[in-house]
Structure 1
Amino acid sequence: MSYSVSEQGALAHGFKQRHITMLSIAGIIGAGLFIGSGHAIATAGPAAILAYLMAGALVILVMRMLGEMAVASPDTGSFSTYADRAIGSWAGFTIGWLYWWFWVLVIPLEAIAAAAVLNTWFPSVEIWIFAFSITALLTITNLFSVGKYGEFEFWFAMLKVIAILAFISLGTVALFGWLPGREVSGLSVLMTQNGGFMPNGFGAVIGALLTTMFSFIGTEAVTIAAAESKDPARNIAKATRSVIWRICLFYLASIFVIISIVSWNDPLLPTQGSYQRVLEILNIPHAKFLIDTVVLVAVSSCLNSSIYISSRMIFSLSKRGDAPAFISKTTRKGVPAFAVIASTFIGLLIIALNFFAPSAVFSFLLASTGAIALLVYLVIAICQLRMRYKLEQSKAPIVLKMWMFPLLTWLVIGFITAALTTMVILPELRNEVSATALLTLFTISLGLLNQKRRRAIPQPLWLPRPNSD
């Protein structure tokens, strides 16, 4: 079907199959894996792999639940739209704006990280100039067409996949003792030294969970991107089914290699990053330059994705009357230009705050996103629980089913609730959870006011409908 997008405000179906495939494989892998994993290991010791295992298992289950809903009803708003239908318009409003806010905060984080790398190569140029420039450049690519964004991300993701596979292969060769003159202790030795496998107790593992969740969030964005492809249901199902091996290979295998080679209390681990420290221990020439190059690609990719994801979420909110109406307008190429510009403008404003305002301001804004990932996953589980019952009542076929329903759904809800409770109890995480809670309560109040304002006719709890943007 052909769309006159300037009239209908419809998104173009410009993603190709290879774009969606590569986006689902490595689209959101950023500095969290290459650098942030070092902080997780320094906090929890070798037991950090348990935090990645728990986070990975949670993501796999959440993606299965989201996949069940998204295959039946693909939508650019994804779980925000499903929350609107399953819980209420205030819920869709709340989780949509929180998710948008999370990715808007990712824009300055990734821009500053990329700028810091470039500054080490070109120290005469200030970091803030690089940060503004790279954000502006990637914003322009997002304004051309979704196909251009998909092409950029295809090659970004390809480079990340190659780098991770090379790292895992090199680490494996070293652990088997096949690298001449480069002996490593191995996991069996490291697990018995410096306090053993869990030197700081299980509480530290839970503490590391927040860091690991930050690395995983974005996996669900493939359901947003797939809505702009020609066969969204098929692409979503394929991406959902592949999430298990992706997490096992890229995350768990990487962390296993790291904790097998680097001692958890290595003072350079949290500052230099886990990947770089491994290469240095293995005496790989130009380790810092190699990792800096990979990190630059990774953070540029995540910056590109954060602009895309935040723009599509606020576009969906606008289409549902939860954001200003002009944001839902699109160009003739099906690009929500106002949504892209609005999201990037806020991101640039936060970059400016980071460099020119007191550091406490940026720290508070960053803390407000601390538990949003878990809230998003909690909402997805609740939506799937309610939608599944309604779908079964409608007798419609369920193409992609959640495993062991409703047992695993309730298990996910219980785990997330327990994790949030634990984070409130732990002093080092309390501020982040409290900041997220305050932001959530404020957004819920706005959502309830907006719900009264809309006074819309209530929609059916959930019925599958034709593909929509």
Structure 2
Amino acid sequence: MSQENTHIEEQQLSKGLQNRHVQLIAIGGTIGTGLFMGAGNSIHFAGPGILAVYAIIGAMMFIMMRAMGEMLYQDPSQPTFIAYMTKYLGNRVGFFARWSYWLTMIFFGMAELTAIGKYVQFWFPSMPEWLIQIIFLVALTGVNLIAVALFGEMEFWFSMIKVIAILALIVTGLMMAFGHFQTPVGTVSFGNVFNHFSLVPNGWGNFINSFQMVMFAFVGMEFIGMTVAETKDPRKILPKAINQIPFRVLFFYLGALFVIMTIYPWKQIPAHQSPFVMVFELVGLKGAAAIINFVVLTAAASSFNSILFSTSRNFYSLAKESRAKFLQPFTKLSSRGLPAKALLFSSLISVSSAVISSIPAINDAFVFVTSAATDLFLMIYIMILWAYWEYRKSSSYMPNGFLLKAPKFFVPLAVIFFVFVYVTLFFNDSSVVPAIGATVWLVVFGIVSYFQPKKAVSEE
């Protein structure tokens, strides 16, 4: 298949996303269930120093996103950012990245389906978890099959719910602080953050370990690289979506965590309870737990919806870059300009989560695999930066494009940081085994990838 033909076919992907869709999806992509359910644990672990951890990781992710954004701006026709790895690093690295990212997202989708089942059981405890998962799977697959615009509309409102919940927390907390609201643990005050402030209250070991906890709250931010390709004016929308990342991190993560520690002295925040539930219960909101459960349900559904979108585009791209005959049917687009067969295949694989969740022995293994898949994201981010480095040296480099400033400083800095986070995984009891699993995958599948052809089908 010639490169020209490949380009023409990829241009046929539906361009149904609007600017408002992408902007809200970009915001929603930085807000996961980890903030709503895991903020108490991260604060308990690192104290007010968690603000610095979120800020540092947010900055490193912004560097990675700007690097990816520069390549997307130069060639927005690619259906997925993984395609740039094949283009600038060769088919062997691209093969590793394509399969690794697709499998990683499949495992994440299965994990989100499992979470959806548990959240729905909050209201319907007798309803089988596997049935809940299948209902949501069918519904969200249908949304993705109808049109890109419908996917964008649903993601718009999913993201809006998360944004409203955080805005409500911040506004409520500020009103309580300025009104000197009394809680069972004292007065709501900004002094609760700054009094006895310590960057490392639980020691440097816990502070460093908190990086891997927080790092995975940002996983999925790269999804904006999928949605921009399916807009009508990607070069106009892309810079806005990426340049607003620092403000979103500052407001939605640092703002929410700061307000939580303003309401509760950080030493008294329980590790395994959602601070969002605590705050809304303090102001007398009945059913606060049910409301936050609804928010995290929509967050999980939003994540799975995005994963279906992502895996279908990745599998479509994977099939186009492959010589395998059994993958060729997945290179076809539907009459709506959607990779329908790739979507249905990814959806079919996700059905296995309904089986896994009902078998405890397999479920334990599934937790391990999902954790190891999470670690693979660090490898993907490093490969994005590597591809960007090669892009800057290639003939495709666009000197008047959406440029990352001072790449010779920031790109190595971000790579060193991601390597640092990966190394820390081996010094934490809860992450060392998945880290070993991810490393085994890197070595074994790296060897398999080495024996792939040097050139992809689209390069011939």
The two structures have a TM-score, normalised by structure 2, of: 0.90
Q: Which runs of 5+ in 2 are unaligned?
A: 1-5
- Alpha-carbon separation, structure 1, partners of 2:375 and 2:245: 22
- Match for residue 302 of structure 1? 303
352, 355, 377: which one pairs with 1:352?
355
Whether contact under 8 Å (1:77, 1:317) holds in the other structure is no
Secondary structure of 1:275's partner? helix
Amino acid paired to 1:335? L
Matches within 5 A, 1:72-151: 72-151=74-153
Contact between 2:14 and 2:338, CA under 8 Å: does it hold in 1?
A: yes
Q: Structure 2 matches for 1:244-255, cutoff 5 A? A: 244-255=246-257
Q: 2:60 aligns with which of 50, 58, 61?
A: 58
Quote the offset at 1:408 in angstroms.
0.9
Counterparts of 1:258-273 in structure 2, within 5 Å, are: 258-264=260-266, 266=268, 268-270=270-272, 272-273=273-274
Q: CA deviation at 1:263?
A: 4.6
* Contact persistence 2:83–2:94 (CA under 8 A): yes
Measured after TM superposition, the shift of residue 67 of structure 1 is 0.8
Checking the alignment, whether the CA contact within 8 Å between 1:36 and 1:273 is kept in structure 2 is yes
- Report the CA distance between 1:288 and its aligned residue: 0.6
Q: CA deviation at 1:75?
A: 4.2
Equivalent position of 2:3 in the other structure: none
Distance 1:430 1:234 in 2: 43
Q: Residues 272-329 of structure 1: CA distance to partner in whole angstroms, max 9, x if unpaired?
A: 3232233334543322122112112111111111111111111111121177222222
How far has the Cα of 1:106 moved from its partner?
Answer: 1.9
Alignment correspondent of 1:361? 365
What is the rounded CA distance, in whole Å, between the counterparts of 1:289 and 1:455 in structure 2?
50
1:357: Cα distance to partner? 4.9
Tell me if 1:288 matches 2:289: yes
Q: What displacement does 1:70 show?
A: 0.7
1:340 aligns with 2:343: yes
Moved over 6 A (4+): none
- Give 1:395 deviation, angstroms: 7.1
In structure 2, what residue type is equivalent to 1:437? T
AA in 2 matched with 1:158: M
| 1:326 aligned onto 2:329 | yes
Match 1:169 to one of 151, 171, 185: 171
Q: Which moved more, 1:36-45 or 1:398-407?
A: 36-45
TM-score normalised over the length of structure 1: 0.88
Between 1:418-427 and 1:94-103, the stretch displaced more is: 418-427
Q: 1:149 to 1:28 in 2, by over 3 A?
A: farther
In structure 2, the residue matched to 1:466 is none
2:377 pairs with one of 373, 389, 403: 373
Query: How far off its partner does 1:366 sit?
Result: 1.5
Give the aligned residue type for 1:277. Answer: M
Query: How many angstroms does 1:178 deviate by?
Result: 5.3
Partner Cα distance (1:404, 1:278) in 2: 42
How many angstroms apart in 2 are the aligned matches of 1:231 and 1:386?
A: 26
Instruction: Verify: 1:317 aligned to 2:318, yes or no.
Output: yes
Structure 1 partner of 2:412:
410
Q: 2: CA distance between counterparts of 1:406 and 1:450?
A: 31
What amino acid maps onto 2:300 in structure 1?
V
- Tell me if structure 1 keeps the 8 A contact 2:212–2:421: no
The change in CA–CA distance for 1:398 and 1:376 in structure 2 (over 3 A counts) is farther
Q: Which amino acid aligns with 2:452?
A: N
Q: Alignment partner for residue 448 of structure 2, among 416, 425, 446?
A: 446
8 A contact 2:35–2:217 mirrored in 1 = yes
For 2:128, the aligned partner's letter is E
The SS at the match of 2:296 is helix
Q: 2:231 aligned with 1:216, yes or no?
A: no
Change (3 A) 1:38 1:310: farther
**Count of aligned positions:** 449
User: How far off is 1:127 after superposition?
Assistant: 2.2
Q: CA deviation at 1:264?
A: 4.5
- Name the CA shift for 1:331/1:78 in 2 (closer, same or farther; >3 Å): closer
Distance 1:190 1:244 in 2: 22
How does 1:234-249 map onto structure 2 within 5 Å?
234-249=236-251
Does the residue aligned with 1:84 lie in a helix, a strand or coil?
helix
Aligned 8 A contact 2:369 2:434 in 1: no
Aligned to 1:15: 17
| 1:437 alignment partner in structure 2 | 439
The answer (yes or no) to whether the contact 1:68–1:400 under 8 Å persists in 2 is yes
Counterpart amino acid of 2:380?
V
What displacement does 1:181 show?
A: 6.9
Give the 3 Å change call, closer, same or farther, for CA 427–120 of structure 1 in structure 2. closer
Cross-structure match for 1:201: 203
* Cα offset, 1:74, TM superposition: 1.5
* Counterpart residue type for residue 333 of structure 1: R
Query: Could you tell me how far apart the structure 1 residues matched to 2:15 and 2:182 are?
Result: 51
Rate the CA distance shift 1:165–1:76 in 2: closer, same or farther, 3 A: farther
In the TM superposition, residue 455 of structure 1 has moved relative to its aligned partner by 7.1
- Aligned-residue identity in percent: 28
